[in-house]
Chains A and B, each alone.
Chain A
């Protein structure tokens, strides 16, 4: 079994994409929230608890800041990363899957 890096780019408030991803998530998988997906880093949405339970969850810093989401306001379990770290993660994980 290979770990998968899941990449989600839509808001959990307007789309069920994050839920659809969570439904297929293995324990050792990783999640990257980018573009409108970073709204999934906020603590109050239907799947926030699922996101908090993920060991390796990341959100793109520029996408958070561009949307006025303060880094203090996101769930503690989420790691804020830049684009270089994003690229590094896609290399580190044997598999990537973009949800869009």
Chain B
């Protein structure tokens, strides 16, 4: 165990490219909230952090969520606060939005919309993928 820790010392200093892949709708499970907790915790470690919303994950982005009606915290509101934590690399899958009939003006404008090819490139350029 000690050897492994020492062996990693050098590479740990360079920021890693981490992509959180969010694929679940906001309130059906705790995964969306768990992902946000993990993202905020990770942001303390000064890594190259970005987030991709794909498949049902795009439902997390819809404006005008009224989560208090089901006693939940508003996921979209927490997401809009991410820039305060220097998390600004947010991406959304264009195809996933289109499949669900979600218009671009229904989601936050601070998010980069990626066509499928660009999304595949984004995935393959990371050091680590974290799936939620």
Contacts and interface: CB of A to CB of B under 8 A. Distances in A.
Interface of A: 1-4, 20, 23-26, 29, 95-100
Interface stretch (B7-15, B81-89, B113-121): B113-121
B49 interface: no
Residue of A24, A29, A96 with most chain B CB atoms under a 10 A cut-off: A24
A24 B129 CA distance: 13
A97 B95 contact: no
Contact of B116 (A3, A4, A24, A100): A24
Contacts of B123: 4, 24, 26, 95, 97
Contact of B54 (A4, A24, A95, A98): A24
Contact size range, B: 10 to 19
B100 interface: no
A96 B130 CA distance: 9
Contacts of B55: 20
A96 B131 CA distance: 10
Given A23-B116, A24-B54, A24-B116, A95 B126 contact: yes
Contact of A2 (B23, B119, B126, B131): B126
Given A97-B131, A100-B131, A3 B23 contact: no
A20 B119 contact: no
A97 B128 CA distance: 9
A23 B127 CA distance: 21
A2 B116 contact: no
A24 to B, nearest CB: 5
Interface string B63-105: 0000000000000000000000000000000010000000000
Contacts of A2: 124-126
29 contacts: A1-B121, A1-B125, A2-B126, A4-B123, A4-B124, A4-B129, A20-B54, A23-B95, A23-B116, A24-B54, A24-B116, A24-B119, A24-B120, A24-B123, A25-B120, A26-B123, A26-B124, A95-B123, A95-B124, A95-B126, A95-B127, A95-B128, A96-B129, A97-B123, A97-B129, A98-B131, A99-B23, A99-B131, A100-B131
